[in-house]
């Protein structure tokens, strides 16, 4: 593989098609040559991942993705593989027709796919059906083939994009291939990094097909993947006042755990001081469990004001509730126009009473909260997570984090970053409370809102992966992330 230096860049389908056209029309690289390079990259991946394979089944659509499959089949025949190749139709278009002819010239036989015959026995199945060319649900006959391939349990290599997966949004409007390995060509498609793509792409590889760097000139990526990062070492003369004072506000009756976890995460993420404004009834438990938190009982705005005046950053919402007590604290806190991280009931109150933030603010909704904030539905949010996170950032004038598989971060100017880490074990209560505290601590230590959100989301997800690696995904608890979080922040783990 030959990934380009900027392989963290993510593009839309239209952008990748523009790159493809530029390679052909401006750089003078014939389309069939691009297919040959793609086929060679995919065949090399097949040999790398399944070195013992000798029988492959290739499924080709009528377009360029099918052309890649025909040429992969020709390469496999030349290497002595047994190749069974199935086409969806008797015709291929453009360069794909030339690729089909090359397969037949190499001694290959093209069979028409028929569900009646069932899947052949193969060591590896190669999906070359649609690539980026499908943004709707596959037609029933093809959906049946995709279902059979998934149910067969044999390894699947997808060329460019698993068929049925929308390469722009990461959603599957119908049946979609669940690949073991996906080899993507020219540039990363943004949809392969968020949403349902997490269950479809398997191991994702990129091959830029030896195209020159000039191909990308003038085409800015739509989004970018986060890099593993942390904060620099502290100066030796640092003291607690150098690292900011976070005030965590929340913990209505029965939800003390939420604000405790948020406050503790802020401490573990390096805040110099963390105060907690909560119900009086929670103080004994908080002081016993984590005496480093400076817990204060507040019964309303008047008792909250002195705490606000001493703080640098607010973590507002975990366990706050939406009753009179929580609403009064929410209004008082936001009216201070301080750097703020807003989550949980802080977001539910924002959906009821929208405002545009002037101070540095990070909002961290999950899809349900995002739906309320945008007056949409969860299905509407998940249909295009990129559009949703950008809309959130614009509407509220904040840096927005749309949580979920492939969490997205956006600023009001349209910039988007994608988190490549995280695991299903993190789908448990309290994970969002931790993220709120982490991002607040980073703001308190001098990060700008965008930097704090990107770094915080990345550290949170990487800590989740480290905790899952230690004991598995099932049974993972939010507080399990605190020890690996501290190590990551101090550069002790890669």
Q: Is residue 347 very low, low, confident or very high in pLDDT (cuts 50, 70, 90)?
A: very high
Residue 200 has pLDDT above 50, yes or no: yes
Q: What is the pLDDT of residue 5?
A: 52
Residue 251 has pLDDT above 60, yes or no: yes
Q: Taking residues 180-197, what's their average pLDDT? A: 97
CA distance 441 to 437: 6
Q: Which tokens sit at 154?
A: 């044999």
- The pLDDT tens digits for 291-320 are 999 999 999 999 999 999 999 999 999 999
Q: Is residue 116 very low, low, confident or very high in pLDDT (cuts 50, 70, 90)?
A: low
Q: Is residue 92 very low, low, confident or very high in pLDDT (cuts 50, 70, 90)?
A: confident
- The pLDDT tens digits for 31-82 are 999 999 999 999 999 999 999 999 999 999 989 999 999 999 999 999 999 9
Q: What is the pLDDT of residue 2?
A: 44
Residue 115 has pLDDT above 90, yes or no: no
Q: Taking residues 394-418, what's their average pLDDT? A: 97
What is the 3-state secondary structure of the chain? CCCCCCCCEEECHHHHHHHHHHHHHCCCCCHHHHHHHHHHHHHHHHHHHCCCCCEEEEEECCCHHHHHHHHHHHHHHHCCCEEEEEECCCCCCCHHHHHHHHHHHCCCCEEECCCCCCCCCCCEEEEECCHHHCCCCCCHHHHHHHHHHHHHCCCEEEECCCCCCCCCCCCCCCCCCCCCEEEEECCEEHHHHCHHHHHCCCEEEEECCCCCHHHHCCCCCCEEECCCCCCCCCCCCCCHHHHCEEEEECCCCCCHHHHHHHHHHHHHCCCCEEEEEECHHHHHHHHHHCCCCEEEECCCHHHHHHHHHHCCEEEECCCCCCCHHHHHHHHHHHCCCCCEEECCHHHHHHHHCCCCCCCCEEECCCHHHHHHHCCCCHHHHHHCHHHHHHHHHHHHCCEEEECCCCCEEECCCCCEEECCCCCHHHCCCCHHHHHHHHHHHHHHCCCCHHHHHHHHHHHHHHHHHHHHHHHCCCCCCHHHHHHHHHHHHCCCCC
Q: Is residue 133 very low, low, confident or very high in pLDDT (cuts 50, 70, 90)?
A: confident
Q: Is residue 494 very low, low, confident or very high in pLDDT (cuts 50, 70, 90)?
A: low
CA distance 260 to 290: 8
- The pLDDT tens digits for 1-36 are 444 455 799 999 999 999 999 999 999 999 999 999
Q: What percent of the chain has pLDDT over 90?
A: 89
CA distance 245 to 73: 62
CA distance 428 to 179: 27
pTM, 2 dp:
0.94
């Amino acid at each position: 593989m030959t990934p380009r230096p900027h392989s963290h860049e993510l593009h839309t389908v239209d952008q990748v098609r523009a790159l493809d056209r530029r390679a052909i029309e401006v750089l003078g690289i014939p389309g069939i040559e691009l297919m040959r390079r793609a086929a060679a990259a995919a065949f090399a991946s097949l040999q790398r991942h399944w070195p013992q394979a000798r029988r492959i089944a290739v499924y080709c659509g009528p377009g360029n993705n099918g052309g890649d499959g025909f040429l992969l089949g020709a390469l496999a025949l030349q290497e002595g593989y047994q190749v069974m190749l199935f086409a969806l139709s008797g015709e291929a278009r453009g360069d794909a027709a030339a690729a089909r002819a090359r397969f037949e010239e190499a001694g290959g036989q093209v069979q028409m796919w028929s569900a009646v015959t069932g899947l052949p026995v193969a060591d590896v199945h190669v999906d070359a059906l649609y690539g980026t060319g499908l943004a709707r649900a596959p037609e029933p006959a093809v959906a049946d083939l995709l279902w059979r391939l998934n149910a067969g349990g044999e390894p699947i290599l997808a060329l460019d994009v698993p068929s049925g997966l929308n390469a722009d949004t990461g959603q599957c409007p119908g049946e979609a291939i669940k690949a073991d390995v996906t080899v993507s060509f020219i540039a990363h498609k943004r949809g392969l990094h968020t949403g349902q793509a997490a269950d479809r792409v398997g191991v994702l590889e990129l091959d830029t097909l030896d195209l020159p760097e000039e191909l990308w000139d003038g085409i800015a990526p739509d989004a970018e993947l986060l890099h593993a990062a942390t904060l620099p070492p502290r100066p030796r003369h640092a003291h607690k006042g150098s690292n900011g004072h976070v005030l965590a506000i929340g913990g209505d009756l029965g939800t003390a755990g939420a604000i405790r976890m948020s406050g503790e995460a802020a401490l573990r993420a390096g805040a110099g001081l963390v105060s907690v404004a909560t119900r009086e009834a929670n103080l004994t438990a908080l002081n016993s469990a984590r005496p480093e938190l400076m817990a204060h009982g507040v019964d309303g705005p008047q008792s909250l004001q002195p705490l606000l005046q001493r703080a640098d950053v607010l973590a507002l919402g975990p366990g706050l509730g939406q009753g009179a007590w929580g609403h009064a604290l929410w209004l008082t806190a936001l009216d201070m126009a301080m750097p703020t991280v807003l989550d949980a009931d802080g977001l539910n109150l924002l959906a009821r009473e929208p405002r545009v933030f002037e101070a540095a603010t990070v909002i961290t909704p999950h899809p349900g909260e995002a739906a309320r904030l945008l007056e949409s539905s969860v299905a509407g949010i998940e249909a295009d997570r990129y559009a949703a996170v950008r809309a959130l950032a614009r509407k509220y004038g904040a840096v927005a984090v749309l949580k979920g598989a492939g969490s997205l971060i956006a600023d009001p100017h349209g910039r988007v970053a994608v988190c490549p880490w995280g695991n299903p074990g993190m789908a448990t209560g309290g994970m969002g409370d931790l993220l709120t505290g982490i991002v607040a601590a980073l703001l308190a230590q001098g990060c700008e809102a965008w930097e704090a959100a990107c770094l915080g989301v990345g550290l949170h997800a990487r800590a989740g992966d480290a905790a899952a690696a230690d004991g598995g995904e099932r049974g993972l608890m939010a507080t399990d992330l605190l020890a690996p979080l501290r190590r990551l922040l101090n550069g002790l783990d890669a």
